[in-house]
Structure formats: C-alpha cells, structure tokens
Chains A and B, each alone.
Chain A
Amino acid sequence: MAPKIAFLIALSLAGSAFAQGFKPTRPVEVVVHTGPGGGSDVLARAVAAMIEKESLLPVRMQVVNKAGGGSAVAAAYLAEKAGDQNTIGFFTGVWLTTPLTSNAAKVTLKDLTPISRLVLEPALIAVKADAPYRTLGDFIAAAKRNPGQLKQSGGSVTSRDNVVRQLLQKASGARWVFISFPGGGERIAALLGGHVDMMVIEPEEAGQHIRAGNLRVLAQVNETRLRGFPDVPTLREAGFDVAVVPQVRGVVAPPGIPAANVAYWEDVFRRLTRTASWKKYLEDNQFEDGYQGSAELAKFYDEFTGTMRGILQEAGIKVVR
C-alpha cells in the first residue's frame, strides 16, 4: 500500500525529469563500499529513509554492501552494471585514492557516471585537554623542537588524517609520527589514553569529549568556521595556509546510462538536499552541505585526484596511476 501511495505522490509532484520519461521501475540498488555500520552504509540508509519519508522516489532503495579492496570491489561492481537503470552507488574520497595506490583497483570514479556530490565532512585538530599546547602553533613548534617524537593517531596512510599531516609538515618544516589504527574507536582511545599527542577528528566525535573536558581543539580543517566551533581558528587563521582537502561523499551511477537518467537522479538528490530532514541530518552530524551536480562533480574528480597524487607522492607512498 505504502509504496503505491508514495508512487502516486511522486507522480503528482512530477517535474521536468519525469517528463523526459525515465523513472526507476524496480527497487533501486544502492551500492556502498563498507560493511553494515560503516560511514557510507549509515549515510546510504539514512538517505534511503529520508527519500522515502519525502516521497522523492516511486520505488524503495535497497542498500547493497560490496565491501572489500578499499573501495575497489564496489567500484568494479558498478562498472559491471554498465547501462543498468536501477543501480546507483555512494562514493567517498577513498574511491579516488584507492586506484592511485593499488594496481588491482582498476575502476576509477572517472569510469562511472557522476551524479552529485552531497556532503563535505570538516575535521578538527584535537589534543588532550591536559596537553601543553594551546594553539596549533604551539604543537608545531614542539614538533619542531623534538623531530619525530610527537605522535598522531589516524586511519590508513591514504586517509585525510595523514593528508592534513603531510600538508602541515610541508608548510612548517616540522616532523611528527603518524600511527595508523584501523578503527575510529581505537584512534580516540589512543589519544584519550595519552599514547599519542594529536588527532584529526570529526566534529561530531569530538564534541562530547570537548564538553566533558577531555579534549581541546586547536584548529579546524575547513574553509570557514563551523557553527558548533565559533572560537576555533581555521587552519588558515591559525597561520597555516594549506589546501583544505575535504572528506567528500556523493552519488555515482554505472557507466553508459542515458542523459535523461542522469538528469533524473540529479534532480532527486537536488530535491533531497533541500528538505528539512536533510538539513537536520547535516546539522546533527556537523557535516557541510557539499552539493554539486553531475558536471561540477566531474571537474571536482580531476582537481581532487591531482592534489591527492601530489600529496601521496610527497609522503613517499607508491602511486601507480
């Protein structure tokens, strides 16, 4: 019953995209590269719930987990679905960096059809509340005095955490150690336990530890100050004029789908980003609205890949493409 009503409502709302004739006819597969509970998986399920609530699609969305190979398995799965009209995927920056460092990851985002960019995730640079560093400058100066002694916990070497470190090291000449932990929980535990000195952390994760007086924020990795952190300087304001590499999330489709389909999906997600549920979701998670349409997103790929290639090479990581 409910899907039928949703369908009727969708028809009644039908705009230009519907007029061009495409609409999905069976439940849409939404491919994500993480297992259940991973960042992309949670976003995809939240989006599916919002799209259903706002009746933006005539059919249901079904999340399909294609974990493995960083993001290579999910990307390859989408590439195999060339021309499939009922499949889309949620990508993150990892989909761009994995093919840079791995020969086996043959499908890049450029082989898929860009739909839209949805989210930019800002980050904070945090230290323990009892650490002697009051500003990012303090931390960098301490790292300069003791080269290779201070430690940062983070994800893999291709993660944004390490990219921020590389950029700061290059700009300041300081050097500190980057220690990879596979799970987000372990990274924060290492910082709270005093085993490492600094961490690049997501605002939502950090917020409660700041309130409880466990962590202090030195700077934010964003172009402008976040609403939740009005007193914390951005990297540029803290005196480090480095590129802000965003953590990005968005939507792609398999290769070889008609232009009308691209327009349809673009329209669905554009309308999604205008809903109140979406704005609340961004607010709750302290994400930035990163909406871009298909054409802009294709341009963004090239910039992002170029920047990342340079950064990874400077970090001494083998780049294969």
Chain B
Amino acid sequence: MEIFAGLMQGFALALQPANLLWCLVGVALGTVVGILPGLGPPATIAMLLPLTFLMNPASAMIMLAGIYYGAKYGGSTTSILLNVPGESASVVTCLDGYQMAKKGRAGAALGIAAIASFIAGTVGVLGLMLIAPPLARLALAFSAPEYFGLMALGLAMVVLLAGRSLLKALLSMLVGLWLAGIGTDLFSSESRFTFGRMELLSGIDFVVVAIGVFAIGEVLANLEEPAAPQTLPIPKGWRNLLPTLQDLRDCRFAFANGSIVGFLIGVLPGAGSTIASFISYGVEKAVSRRREEFGTGVIEGVAAPEGANNSETGGALVPLLTLGIPGSGTTAILLAALVLWGFKPGPLFISDNPSLFWSLVASMYIGNVMLLVLNLPLVPLFAQVLRAPAYVLFPIILGVSMVGVYSTSSSLFDVGLLAGFGLLGYLMRKLDYPNAPLILGLVLGGAMERALRQSLMMSDGSLTILFARPISAVMLSLALLILLIPVVSRVNAWRRRLLS
C-alpha cells in the first residue's frame, strides 16, 4: 500500500507538464547519444551538469536518468545496421543483429531491440520499486570470490560463442585476456605490456577494440569483393520493417531472460551492463533449441542482450539510491550530481526524499513508453541507411568509427589502435577466428584477475575461499556445467551416428 501511495504521488509529480518535457528531453537525448558511437551517457551527463544547477532537482534527475536508460535503446542501432557497437553494452547485439541486417531483416532486428528494451526496462523499474532494499543487502553479500565466480561463469560462455573450432575460440579469448592485462597493475602500480607508452598506462579502452575488430574488420573484409553494388539487402515492404508475431513468440524467453539477468547483474556494483548483455546472450544460447543458428541472425540473440542492458539500468539504480554506492561510470556521475544539488545520497536517501525517489520511478515508466513510441517509427527510417551503396556506406562506417573512438578519449593514439585492431579483425575473419571470444576475454579479463587476487588476499593465499563460499561455489559449478555443453553435444552426435 505504501508503495502504491508513493507511486501515485510520484506520477502526480512526473506527469506535471514541465517534468514530462524534461523526461522527453532526457530520453530523446539519450537515444541520440546511444546511436552515436563513442559519446556515451557519462560524458553527456557530465556536460549537462552545470545546466542542471538551474533546474529543480527532481526535473534534473528525471532528465539525467532519461539520458541513462534512453542511451541503451539507441545503442543497438549502429550495432545492427553498421556492425559498429554504439555502446559497450551493445557489442553482443552485433553478433546476430548485423547478421539479421545482412539477411534483409534489419527492421525486425531494430524493432525487437526496441520492444525488448521496453519490456526489460519496465521490469527493471518494477524491480527497483518493489524489491530494492532487500536486493541491496543481497548485493553486499557479493565480494571478490563471488565476482570471480560470476566472471568465470561469463568466461565459460566462450564455448557457446565458438564457431566451428573450439580451439580457435579459445585462442581468440586468450588474446582478449592478454589485452585486458595491459596497463598499470592495480596492486603493485607496475606497468605491464605498456612498451614505454604512457597512453597504455591505463590499459586499452574496450570500445576501441570492439569497434576496430567488428566494424573496421568488416569493412576491410567487404572491400575484397570488387564493386559490389549494394552491401546489404534493403528490407522490402512494411511487413519486413517490424518484427512479426512469430518473432515475438520466438523471443518470449529472451524477454524474461534479458529482464531478470540484466536486473540482477545490474544490482551488483562490480559487474555492469556489458557483462549483463554477454551473460544473457549466453543463457539464451545455452537453453535454445536452435543453438547452432546463433551468430547467423537469430532474433533472440538480439532481444536477450538488448533487454539485459536496459533492465540493468533499473538494477544499477538500486545500490545507488538505497546505499549511495555507484556501480558504473554513469551512476558515479549521477551520485556526484546528487551531491552537487545538495542531497545526501546514502542508506537514508529514499526515506529522506520520498517524492524525488517516487517521481524518478514514475518518470522511468513514462520514459520507457516514450522511448518505445519514439524508437519504433524510427526503425523504417534507419533501415533506409542500408539503401546507400557500398562506396557511400563504407566511408561513413569508417568515419563514424574514428569519430566515435576519438570522442571518447580525444586521443589520436587510440585512433591508431583502432586501425590496428581493424587489421586484426580482418585477419581473424580471413583465418576464420571468431571475434566475440576476444571481446569476452577483454571485458572479463581485468575484473576476473582483480577478483581472484582480491580473494587470495582475503584468504591469505588459499584457493579454498572460492569454493567454501556458497554463491561463488554455485557460480563455479554452473561454469563447469556450461563447459560440459560441447562435450555433451559431441557425445550425442556420436551416439546418433552409432544408432543410425
């Protein structure tokens, strides 16, 4: 009842014309920022901070949060159309989304991304509203050993991302893990694999590698085919511009999976949306009946990660609002914003400022509806991008990639790295190495190494800490189960051959 009363009060505030307007401004800006590769929500929110001093804090919070979850909607656009991940959380979307576009189903992919985002985004807000405080306590049970279990679980997904050869997938993952090791060691302040370059002291930005390997690699590979008049088939007719009923039916599990996995991982301060999207993709593939088709343009492969990265935002607001603990770059700057406006984020924040909390929650329901209404009509429009012939489209992809990378770091060194990783992506395509495991290794490597070393520092060097704690033990067992999937399917194939 208390929740209902709070929510009504929240809607009363959020539905005021001014707040509706700020919500619209936030989600529209968020969509744009999400579509543009490179420029992400943290940078946008930081740039807008001085402006928010002039606003009433509730309106400002509604707008900034709108940018945060709105960006997750836009992130899939360039992933699907151009194979350029718009946000780090949309890298996985490239795997099946771009393949769908190649088959002329770009509209369906973009549409399902918006629908999955809407469903999971709404579930995320529901979770934030209903179970935030108990969940925040659960998040505190997670520490280094549990994070190690989670990362190991994520890394085990490599067997699901492998193409024909598991060995090649493992090699690709190892390169990713090595790339994750570049930089300054957190525990000893020593430089590792920096070759005396100060630009490498803080490691290689994951976005540079992802855009290089996916987008530039793809362009280079396509350039080989002489004078292809059209790169991708254009979706024809209205029916192909949006997902069909069959698509929606295929995605039923993906919607639930993305919502739940994304929210739960979002609650953990040490994980983040990129990991959430990878894990939900892995879960989707692990339980799918058409597992072999993943990576060739399966619609669930778009719905699950796009859902996960949206419900992650609801989850990430849980520790921020209930404990004052930020889990990601964006929530860190939201925390800074709250302090700058004179609030005291922390365990008493919600009870001190109920109207701010509830108007934020209400605005997120409204914002998700706005985003769906805003994004679905854009789908046919964006799908027209594919009408452009290769000689127009490829330079655009190269330009968008370079500007995207430069805008995150304003570093020409990173643009050079981008070219290098583009070549790597090209070679991997030629030699038939899957590129997703490389990204997986890079995303998880750093956090996994840190979690392992922190665990060992906690236990005075004893590995038993990883198995003695129930949550990490469960995760490690799950990881083991996933590793057994290829073995089982091989045994099955062998048995089938024996029977026939």
Whether A and B are associated in the same complex: the answer reads yes
| A residues neighboring B (CB under 8 Å) | 35-38, 41-42, 45-46, 48-49, 52, 63-70, 72-73, 76, 101-106, 148-149, 151, 156-158, 177, 179-186, 188-190, 192-196, 204-205, 207-209, 211-212, 214, 284-285, 317-318
User: Which residues of B lie under 8 Å from residue A177 when comparing CB positions?
Assistant: 457-458, 460
Number of A-B contacts (CB under 8 A): 185
Q: Determine if A211 and B201 form an interchain contact, defined as CB atoms under 8 angstroms apart.
A: no
| Max chain A C-beta neighbours (<10 A), residue from B50, B141, B342, B344 | B50
B462 within 8 A of A: no
Q: Determine if B202 and A185 form an interchain contact, defined as CB atoms under 8 angstroms apart.
A: no
User: When A189-B319, A285-B339 are in contact, do A106 and B198 touch as well, CB less than 8 Å?
Assistant: yes
- Which of B38-46, B89-97, B215-223, B288-296 lies at the binding interface? B38-46
B167 within 8 A of A: no
State which of A38, A66, A72, A207 has its C-beta within 8 Å of the C-beta of B201: A72
- Which of B187-195, B234-242, B474-482 lies at the binding interface? B187-195
Q: Determine if A105 and B201 form an interchain contact, defined as CB atoms under 8 angstroms apart.
A: yes
Q: Determine if A209 and B191 form an interchain contact, defined as CB atoms under 8 angstroms apart.
A: no
User: Measured between C-beta atoms, what is the minimum distance from B197 to chain A in Å?
Assistant: 7
User: Measured between C-beta atoms, what is the minimum distance from A231 to chain B in Å?
Assistant: 19
Q: Determine if A317 and B188 form an interchain contact, defined as CB atoms under 8 angstroms apart.
A: yes
Q: Determine if A102 and B191 form an interchain contact, defined as CB atoms under 8 angstroms apart.
A: yes
B432 within 8 A of A: no
State which of A35, A106, A188, A317 has its C-beta within 8 Å of the C-beta of B329: A35
Which chain A residue shows the least CB distance to B147?
Answer: A186
User: Which residues of B lie under 8 Å from residue A38 when comparing CB positions?
Assistant: 332
User: Which residues of B lie under 8 Å from residue A195 when comparing CB positions?
Assistant: 143-144, 458
| Max chain B C-beta neighbours (<10 A), residue from A41, A181, A186 | A186
B454 within 8 A of A: yes
User: When A70-B184, A73-B199, A104-B198 are in contact, do A184 and B326 touch as well, CB less than 8 Å?
Assistant: yes
| Max chain B C-beta neighbours (<10 A), residue from A72, A158, A180, A214 | A180
User: Which residues of B lie under 8 Å from residue A284 when comparing CB positions?
Assistant: 339-340, 342
Q: Determine if B189 and A317 form an interchain contact, defined as CB atoms under 8 angstroms apart.
A: yes
User: When A186-B270, A193-B142 are in contact, do A36 and B46 touch as well, CB less than 8 Å?
Assistant: yes
User: Which residues of A lie under 8 Å from residue B46 when comparing CB positions?
Assistant: 36-37, 41-42, 45, 63
B178 within 8 A of A: no
| B residues neighboring A (CB under 8 Å) | 42-43, 45-47, 49-50, 53, 139-144, 184, 186-191, 194, 196-202, 269-270, 319, 323-327, 329-333, 336, 339-340, 342, 344-349, 409-411, 450, 454, 457-458, 460
User: Measured between C-beta atoms, what is the minimum distance from B473 to chain A in Å?
Assistant: 16
Provide 18 A-B residue pairs closer than 8 Å at the C-beta atoms, listed in order of the A residue: A41-B46, A42-B49, A52-B50, A68-B199, A68-B202, A69-B184, A69-B198, A102-B201, A103-B191, A104-B196, A104-B197, A151-B457, A158-B189, A185-B325, A189-B143, A189-B323, A195-B143, A318-B189
A195 to B325, CA, bound (A): 16
User: Which residues of A lie under 8 Å from residue B346 when comparing CB positions?
Assistant: 207-209, 211-212
Q: Determine if B329 and A204 form an interchain contact, defined as CB atoms under 8 angstroms apart.
A: no
A310 to B198, CA, bound (A): 24
Which chain A residue shows the least CB distance to B450?
Answer: A182
Q: Determine if B139 and A189 form an interchain contact, defined as CB atoms under 8 angstroms apart.
A: yes
User: Which residues of B lie under 8 Å from residue A196 when comparing CB positions?
Assistant: 458
